[in-house]
Structure 1
Amino acid sequence: MAVSQKQIAKKLGVSIALVSRVLSGKAAEIGIAPETIERVLKTAQEMGYVPSAAALALKGKSTRTFGVVVYDFKDPFFGAIIEQLQMRAHEYDYSLMLAGFLNRTPDEQDLQPLHKHALDGLIVIGTDLDAVWLRDFEHLPVARIGHGAPSEPSVRIAIDENRSAELLVSHLIQSGHENLAFIAAALTAHRLRREAIAQAAKKAGVHFEFIEADAQDAFQAGMDAANQLSQRTDAIICATDQVAMGVLHTLSHTDRIPAVTGFDDIAVARQFIPGITTIRQPIAAMAVAAVDAVVQKKAPARLSLEPELVVRQSAS
């Protein structure tokens, strides 16, 4: 239960007005003794007093809260990012207010909590090249972890897709593979990744085919697309680790298992059998950049972070 200024005043035997003055930083203006100020602040801390966000907003003060919008709560990669965001926010003494979409489709009902609170900024997790819903939040500093439109008024923080593609294609070629396939779900982020893989394959002079499953669920997309592979394919690059798991699940029931790579390096990628060769995204650095951009109110920009190739049994 939240501690009120009335409870603090009762415990100290002073007036509520005095406690209010001290906690609002105006005690010195009316000559309250330093000893009394120290006693009120110490008691408030001991009792776990937290200022009301609504009251702070009415006074035009920072609520030390920013919103986090997640495009897909089922995506484990996004969950790992939320953890890192919370850790970084705590370093600034900020709190998170979480909202999200069903099936990656923005809906006004999902955005209502953001409108009801006085936020100091907004962090978006997920790729969207047409985020018209963000227009309602142009008064706030915004950071996106993922790809956004160049005109989007946000700091866009994302992995270097071209460098990631080069690392994957180069590794597979060095392992003796020449006929590559890229498997993805029907998602914007996956299509952007496909473009980078296609460019890297063309540059390397190797055969490349693309299979996009109708499903938006990554694991299901991998399972479905694996049935469409041509016999000549000897290596499969998957848009995410979950897609790779779906592919390996389907292929485990056949007598051929080509090299398979994923993307993201979610926790289960190293626990899966076989362990999945993948691109590790620097989620801690992404979270730090996003929180810093919002707290420090940085101007819209694009930050491209370096990927890391992690080699495991699925494509060693």
Structure 2
Amino acid sequence: MKRVSMQDIADKLGLSKGTVSLVLSGKAKGSRVSEETSKKVIQMAEEMNYQPNEIARSLSTGKSMSIGVVVTDISNEFFGNLTFHIQEQAKKYGYTVITSNTNESLEEFRNAIATLLNKQVDGIILVPVDEGQEMVLKIMKRNLPMVQIDRYYPGIKANYIIIDNYKVSRNVIEVLIGKGLRRIAVVCYDINLNALTERRQGYIDALTHHKLLDTALIKNINYENQEEEIKQAIIDLKNNPDKVDAIFFCSRKVFITGVKYMHREGIKIPEQMEVVCFDEIDSFSITNMPITYIKQPIRQMGEKAVDILMEQMSGSGDVNEYVFDAEIEYSI
């Protein structure tokens, strides 16, 4: 079927194409187009099933009215919620969101960025992956607005929004020590990005300060083989000759997999081992398991990322570096 154009609507109503364009672009107010004419144009557009030509509009305005969002694992509740809040905030500015997933893969990160650049998005919000600096520099070379979120590349002067991973991780270990726990393990992805390295370092520094650090209790997990390695880490901690009092899981996905194998190994929580999850999980509200968790301000992070992107699109040259605090909370 032939696509309905503004000219078709104009011909039906005996109006000029310019008048129809003013109405359908939302610019009729303040012009000489009457309210009655505007209503007729809108009604006819609906009757004829008019769909705006986004490609033509982007060519004429220089904007696609879309932004790209690149996350590492959309199946992860954290990134799913983060993307949702980004989308909701983008709607307020009249923008749509194109989301890509990288699975912590540098190759997939490169492909995602290249695809978004080819689609001529007006800006990009991204979660960095290890060794992905070249793609961020490529975005910056094009003068395309960009915000890093959850993590950032320290050597690049660019916008980012993160939480203070080190402070809250050190604080939560201090909470466990304050409860009398001494043998505290950490299970964390072995990825060289500041969000994860700072969580691990907060753990190390808190235990070192109290002369309680045992490096055998640091379990670094390869992302690509995480299921098997988390399982083995739980078995090793269970069989440690000196009883382990608690485990700090430094991401929600590691926590979910870790707790699954704790149950399979018959480890009672919290009677035999306490657990800490870096992030809140919806299912906490329906479990009877007492869990210490770190709550991140996901909504504020997503909304602020969009706000910064829009400021950049409006010509701001400021580099914004936002560091939010996270809270230590308890499931029951």
TM-score, reference length from structure 1: 0.84
Q: Which residue number in structure 1 is paired with residue 310 of structure 2?
A: 295
* Range 157-166 or range 285-294, more displaced: 157-166
In 1, are the aligned partners of 2:106 and 2:131 still within 8 Å (CA)? no
Letter in 1 for 2:117: H
In 1, are the aligned partners of 2:204 and 2:213 still within 8 Å (CA)? no
Q: Secondary structure at the match of 1:113?
A: helix
Distance 1:271 1:131 in 2: 41
In 1, are the aligned partners of 2:63 and 2:122 still within 8 Å (CA)? yes
In 1, are the aligned partners of 2:292 and 2:330 still within 8 Å (CA)? yes
Distance 2:155 2:51 in 1: 38
Distance 2:241 2:222 in 1: 22
* Range 159-168 or range 129-138, more displaced: 129-138
Distance 2:258 2:290 in 1: 13
In 2, are the aligned partners of 1:54 and 1:118 still within 8 Å (CA)? no
Aligned residues: 312
**How has the CA–CA distance of structure 1 residues 172 and 292 changed in structure 2, closer, same or farther, with 3 Å as cutoff?**
same
In the alignment, structure 1 residue 311 sits paired with structure 2 residue 323: no
Q: Which residue number in structure 1 is paired with residue 15 of structure 2?
A: 14
Distance 1:237 1:197 in 2: 8
**Residue correspondence of structure 1 range 1-316 to structure 2 within 5 A:** 4-20=5-21, 23=24, 33-35=33-35, 38-39=38-39, 42-43=42-43, 51-107=52-108, 108-126=110-128, 128=130, 130-138=132-140, 139-188=143-192, 189-209=195-215, 210-216=218-224, 220-229=228-237, 230-232=240-242, 233-256=244-267, 257-271=272-286, 274=289, 276-297=291-312, 299-312=318-331
Letter in 1 for 2:324: L
Letter in 2 for 1:165: S
Provide Cα deviations, 1:177-197, integer angstroms capped at 9, x if missing partner: 011111112333433321222
Provide Cα deviations, 1:206-241, integer angstroms capped at 9, x if missing partner: 334311123446555432311222343211111112
Q: RMSD of the alignment, in Å?
A: 3.2
Letter in 2 for 1:282: P
Distance 1:128 1:45 in 2: 49
Structure 1: unaligned runs, 5 residues or longer:
none
TM-score, reference length from structure 2: 0.80
**How has the CA–CA distance of structure 1 residues 278 and 126 changed in structure 2, closer, same or farther, with 3 Å as cutoff?**
farther
* Range 50-59 or range 239-248, more displaced: 50-59
Letter in 2 for 1:133: M
Distance 1:9 1:182 in 2: 67
Distance 2:255 2:235 in 1: 13
In 2, are the aligned partners of 1:106 and 1:133 still within 8 Å (CA)? no
Q: Secondary structure at the match of 1:225?
A: helix
Structure 2: unaligned runs, 5 residues or longer:
none
In 2, are the aligned partners of 1:184 and 1:222 still within 8 Å (CA)? no
